[in-house]
């Protein structure tokens, strides 16, 4: 009986909250805004298998998929199927038809691809560091919420330079494996971290994303781990929401800034209001819905409606508004047809600090799939930037010693 009363009370509170929002912005629109606000901060459970598999020819090493912007993308990708019980790796497009797309199959890692009818593509390609031509260590980063697993892949020669990799929303550490080779070749160690509510690290009490406003503390913990293990120069690299997390760590933590020498961003979430507006249009809603979602997240009823422990002030997460506070060089890469996080925020950020930010636009790469689409260019950009700025840091250190 007590449980039923508690559930009823919770439902009543939520209903009252929705009612108050509805009075302010209209019942139907208010309900939709609450739905999207809750969705953006809630880690996904089962991932949607949105790719239709038409046929599989294993002897020929080919797969035919229903045509879409995703299945037409050039490059190599991972394909999860059978509710993530199976995984294959897809090569480039062989034939792009009006209704179907035929691609090569690089490998079937596990599962029965020949029986699958649906799946989902991602840009990871690599499943873990054991697939790279480099030794790795399973390490633990002590965060304020508890121990968080991480992968440490050192450069071939002893190095005090570290790249801390921060994956995106709904992703995991394997997303960042693509950056290990160029970093290692440039003489940098790579720490592939996890953060709260990503499915590997400890959960926060509310089990909700903070859009960078809470996760940045785990980047501070990863920085502390790196320093304790010999890091003298640190670069933060963030993917999608990981970019927002990295930038918040820079703005909020003197401990991070103390050893920070640069930031690399791949398809970063810069302007959450812009992102939420864009997502609304993708769902055939007016752009103004994004502004209402921002109000829900930041309003006094936000916690009751979305489950977040405290309201999220989206304006405080805007790095463009605080662009003058950044002091280290950045490499910023984004695709004009991102399809999830619009490039406009990255363009505004780059325009605000052209003295610090090297901005590289891609086309046809969509969201966080820049490496997949053009691995040669992406790898050269990351490697070259790390080499140049590593050398710059070293030369400044030599000059300081001479001056001293």
Q: Are residues 325 and 374 in the same domain?
A: yes
User: Do 301 and 20 form a contact (C-beta atoms < 8 A)?
Assistant: yes
Question: Are 220 and 198 contacting, i.e. CB atoms less than 8 angstroms apart?
Answer: no
- Residues 179 and 61 grouped into a single domain: no
Please give the structure tokens belonging to residue 310: 């405290």
Tell whether the torsion through CA atoms of 387, 168, 338 and 355 is positive or negative.
negative
Judgement on whether residues 97 and 245 belong to the same structural domain of the protein: no
Lowest-confidence pick of 14-28, 199-213, 386-400: 14-28
| Candidate from 29-38, 317-326, 380-389 with smallest mean pLDDT | 29-38
| 318 has pLDDT over 80 | yes
Q: Are residues 109 and 257 in the same domain?
A: no
Confirm whether 389 is domain-assigned.
yes
Q: State whether 113 and 136 are in the same domain.
A: no
Do 103 and 195 lie in one domain? The reply is no
What would the pLDDT profile of 152-210 be if each residue is shown by its tens digit?
A: 999 999 999 999 999 999 999 999 999 999 999 999 999 999 999 999 999 999 999 99
- pLDDT value of position 47: 83
Q: Are 193 and 218 in contact (CB under 8 A)?
A: yes
395 falls in which pLDDT band (50, 70, 90)?
low
Per the domain annotation, does 292 fall within a domain? no
**Mean pLDDT to the nearest integer, 259-285:** 93
82: left (phi over 0), alpha (psi -120 to 50) or beta: left
Q: What is the DSSP string of 110-136?
A: ES-GGG--EEEEES----SGGGSSS--
Do 192 and 259 reside in the same domain of the chain?
Answer: yes
The answer to whether the CB of 155 falls within 8 A of the CB of 197 is no
Q: Are strands 357-362 and 100-110 parallel, antiparallel or unpaired?
A: unpaired
pLDDT reading at 25 higher than 80 = no
CA atoms within 13 A on the CB side of 298: 14
Provide the mean pLDDT of the chain. 91
Domain total in the chain: 2
The domain in which residue 335 lies consists of: 129-271+318-403
The string of DSSP codes covering 176-231 is GGGGHHHHHHTT-EEEE---TTSSSSPPPSS----TTTTTHHHHHHHHHHHHHTT-
pLDDT in tens, 94-123: 999 999 999 999 999 999 999 999 999 999
The more confident residue out of 48 and 382 is 382
- Classify residue 43: in a domain, yes or no: no
Query: What angle, 0 to 180 degrees and rounded to 10, lies between the N-to-C axes of helices 216-228 and 241-252?
Result: 70
Between CA 312 and CA 308 the distance in angstroms is: 8
Q: How would residue 328 be classed by pLDDT, with cut points 50, 70 and 90?
A: very high
Pairing of strands 260-266, 233-239: parallel
Q: Could you tell me how many residues make up the chain?
A: 404
Residue 13 pLDDT grade (very low, low, confident, very high; cuts 50, 70, 90): very low
* Residue 347 domain-assigned (yes or no): yes
* Residue 358 and residue 212 share a domain: yes
For the chain, how far is it from start to end, CA to CA, in angstroms?
75
Would you call 354 helix, strand, or coil by DSSP?
A: coil
Residue 4: predicted pLDDT: 42
The pLDDT score that the predictor gives to residue 27 is 62
Tell me, what's the pLDDT at 5? Answer: 44
Q: Is residue 7 part of a domain?
A: no
In this structure, are 81 and 161 located in the same domain? no
pLDDT at 402 over 70: no
Examine the domain organization and report whether 209 and 64 are in the same domain: no
| 238 within a domain of the structure (yes/no) | yes
Strand partners, 164: 191, 236
Q: What is the pTM of this model?
A: 0.90
What's residue 394's pLDDT?
58
The contacts of residue 204 (CB under 8 Å, 6+ apart) are 145, 196, 197, 210, 214, 309
């Amino acid at each position: 009986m007590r449980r039923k009363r508690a559930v009823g009370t919770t439902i009543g509170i939520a209903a009252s909250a929705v009612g108050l929002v509805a009075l302010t912005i209209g019942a139907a629109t208010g309900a939709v805004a609450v739905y999207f606000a809750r969705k953006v901060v809630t880690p996904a459970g089962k991932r949607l298998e949105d790719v239709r598999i038409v046929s599989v020819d294993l002897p020929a090493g080919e797969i035919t998929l229903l045509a879409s912007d995703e299945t037409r993308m050039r490059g190599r990708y991972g394909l999860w199927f059978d509710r993530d019980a199976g995984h294959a790796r897809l090569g480039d497009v062989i034939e792009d038809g009006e209704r179907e797309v035929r691609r090569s199959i690089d490998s079937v890692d596990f599962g029965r691809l020949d029986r699958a009818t649906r799946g989902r593509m991602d840009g990871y390609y690599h499943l873990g560091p054991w697939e790279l031509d480099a030794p790795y260590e399973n390490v633990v980063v002590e965060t304020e919420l508890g121990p968080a697993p991480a992968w440490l892949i050192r450069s071939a020669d002893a190095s005090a330079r570290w790249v801390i990799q921060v994956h995106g929303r709904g992703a995991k550490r394997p997303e960042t494996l693509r950056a290990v080779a160029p970093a290692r070749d440039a003489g940098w160690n790579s720490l592939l971290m996890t953060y709260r509510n990503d499915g590997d690290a400890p959960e926060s009490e509310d089990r909700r994303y903070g859009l960078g406003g809470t996760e940045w503390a785990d980047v501070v913990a990863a920085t502390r781990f790196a320093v304790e293990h010999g890091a003298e120069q640190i670069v933060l690299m963030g993917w999608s929401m990981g970019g927002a997390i990295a930038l918040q760590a820079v703005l909020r933590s003197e401990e991070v800034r103390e050893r920070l020498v640069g930031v690399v961003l791949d398809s970063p979430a810069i302007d959450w209001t812009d992102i939420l507006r864009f997502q609304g249009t993708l769902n055939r809603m007016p752009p103004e819905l994004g502004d209402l979602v921002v109000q829900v997240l930041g309003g006094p009823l936000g916690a009751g409606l979305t489950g977040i422990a405290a309201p999220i002030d989206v304006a405080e997460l805007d790095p463009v508004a605080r662009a003058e506070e950044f002091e280290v060089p950045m490499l910023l890469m984004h695709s004009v047809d991102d399809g999830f996080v619009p490039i406009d925020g990255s363009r505004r950020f780059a325009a605000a600090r052209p003295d610090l930010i090297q901005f590289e636009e891609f086309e046809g790469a969509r969201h966080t799939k820049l490496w997949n689409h053009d691995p040669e260019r992406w790898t050269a950009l990351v490697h070259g930037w790390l080499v140049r700025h590593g050398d710059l840091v070293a030369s400044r250190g030599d000059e300081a010693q001479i001056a001293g």
